[in-house]
Amino acid sequence: MDSIVCQNSHSFSIPQVYIVGGVTGQQVLNTAEFYDPKVDVWTYIRAMTVPRSGARVINYQDNVYVLGGFNGTNWLSSGEKYDPRREHWLELPSMLTPRSHFAVAVLDDLLFAIGGYNGLFARN
């Protein structure tokens, strides 16, 4: 990583780390980076289709899922999936509620979004 970014989202999948989105000043980012500790190098990967800060990220079945967040104007219900083998982002079905800063988990092959903030109030 070569810049100062806040409210980015990250996912650890041994042995890799993915960092996506965030904010630098007033600009919400769609950038995505990958860290490989074997060679101690950060690499930019294909940018997400939507700028996001406060999104949530989870690795599942060799893909990186990015859900929700804030694009600088609106809270997001959208999500996208990154396939590292194809170096491609795929749009996912939207969540029922837009949100940022929430928890995400996988159980029985289902992604769960829990809590978060939608611009008006925090959910639990």
Number of domains into which the chain is organized? 1
Helix ranges restricted to H, 5-118: none
Per residue in 17-44, pLDDT tens? 889 999 998 899 999 999 888 899 999 9
* Residue 26 maps to a domain: yes
Inter-residue contact 65 to 92 (CB < 8 Å): yes
Cα of first residue to Cα of last residue in the chain, in angstroms, is 32
* 4, part of any domain: no
pLDDT for residue 2? 56
Q: Is residue 33 one of the residues assigned to a domain?
A: yes
Report the SS3 class of residue 91.
strand
Q: What is the CATH number of the domain that holds 79?
A: 2.120.10.80
Residue range(s) defining the domain that contains residue 113: 9-123
pTM tops 0.85: yes
- Give a yes or no: residue 1 inside a domain: no
DSSP state of 49: S
